[in-house]
Structure formats: structure tokens, C-alpha cells
Amino acid sequence: MIDIGYDAAHLLGALVLLTSFALLYQRRLFSLLNVFTVQALALSGAAAWQGYAHDEPHLYITAILTLALKAIAIPVALHRIIQRLHIERTVEPALGIGLTMVAGVSLVTLSILLVLPVTENATALTREDLALSLSVVLLGLLMMISRRNAVSQVVGFMSIENGLILAAVGVAGMPLVVEMSIAFSVMVAFIIFGIFLFQIRERFETLDMRKIESFRGESD
């Protein structure tokens, strides 16, 4: 019969995947941040639901961490950075939108083709969560390579990490210690990113990667 728990977990995972697609599609930085917030919310919802359905309280902590850091702190901080540095609000993707979307669907198909036959022995929910999270990771990578703006690359990196958390949630949670250390390392990486962005902006007056690349190797 129907297994609402199963289907709800599946839906939330699919929502994370859909938001990764939407991230590829966005043209404006603020809407990019909004979509990222939705992704983080969906992820914390998925973690909380898994904690409820499988009766594992430490997943609740994962959910709260994700909510606090990814859904609130990081978007607010990026918002501030964008306003402070007067970053260009519109971003053009490097490949055309059509090509990016086709690449996205191919990556999802690739992850499904990879994961499903390999994990024949695991439970169904685990297999699908692994397929979904691999897709989210690949889409995050695609976003990093198909964007020129530094802020969008940071968001892409964050969404890769979201994919990894989704995988962890699906495999009935990582130990809390590992969870906390990953969260802290992401936080540290993020702070370093922020400092870097400020410094790059001050030195080069721009955060557009193409223009910055042209400075390579010219100091000699």
C-alpha cells in the first residue's frame, strides 16, 4: 500500500534536486540566493523527516544545523557581501541556458544509471537518496563550471555540500562528530571565501572570473 513516509522523504529529496536545477537557471544574484535558501530548507526538512520516520534523534540536530547555517546564516552573509561590494546583480551563464539544462538532465540520468544497478542490495530508500545526492553534487559542480561570477561559484560549492549531506541523511545519518566537523570546516571555508572575495575585489575592482584570469602570469 501507500507508504507516506517513503514518498514524503522522496519528495523532499526531489525538491532538493529541483532547486539545484533552478540554481542553474537563475539570472539574478538575489533570486539565486533565494533558491539556495529553499534548497537548504528542503534539506533540513528531509533530515528532520528522516529523523522522525526512522526514530534517530541526531538527524534532528543535522536538520537544525542545516537550517541555521545554510538556510539563514550563509544567505544573509552573502546578501551583505553582495551589497557591500556592489557586485553586479545579473549573472549570465557561460553556456546557454538550453545547453546547461540538457547537461543537467544528462548528469541526473548518469547518476541514476550509476547508482541503481550498483546498489542492488541496499534498501530502496537508500538507493534513491544516493542517486539523488550524486545528482545534486554533479549539478553543483556543473554550476561551478558554468558560471563566471565568484558568488555563484560559492553558491555552487555550497550546493555540492548540500548533496553530500543529503547522501548522509539517506544512509541513516553520519555520526554527530563527523557532522559537526564537516559543518565547521564548511563555515571556515566560507569565511575564507568571504575574505578572499573582499581582497580580490579591492585589488582588481572586479569579481568577474574572466577578467581576473587575464591577470595570471603577468607579474613577471
Rounded least distance, CB 143 to other proteins, Å: 16
Alpha helices in the chain (DSSP H): 4-25, 29-54, 58-65, 74-85, 97-118, 124-146, 150-170, 176-204, 209-213
Rounded least distance, CB 101 to other proteins, Å: 5
Rounded least distance, CB 1 to other proteins, Å: 7
What nine digits make up the cell of 155? 553558491
Q: Which is nearer to other proteins, 21 or 193 (CB)?
A: 21
Q: Which is nearer to other proteins, 128 or 161 (CB)?
A: 128
One-letter identity of residue 53: A
Q: Which is nearer to other proteins, 5 or 194 (CB)?
A: 5
Q: Which is nearer to other proteins, 99 or 195 (CB)?
A: 99
Rounded least distance, CB 31 to other proteins, Å: 13
Q: Are 170 and 217 in contact (CB under 8 A)?
A: no
Rounded least distance, CB 32 to other proteins, Å: 16
Distance in angstroms between the alpha carbons of the first and the last residue of the chain? 70
Q: Which residue ranges make up the site for other proteins (CB under 8 A)?
A: 1-4, 6-8, 10-11, 14, 18, 21, 25, 96-99, 101-102, 104-105, 108-109, 112-113, 116-117, 124, 128, 131-132
One-letter identity of residue 173: G
What is the Cα–Cα distance from 20 to 14, expressed in whole angstroms?
10
Q: Which is nearer to other proteins, 129 or 161 (CB)?
A: 129
Distances (CA, A) of 166 to 39, 46, 90, 196: 11, 8, 29, 28
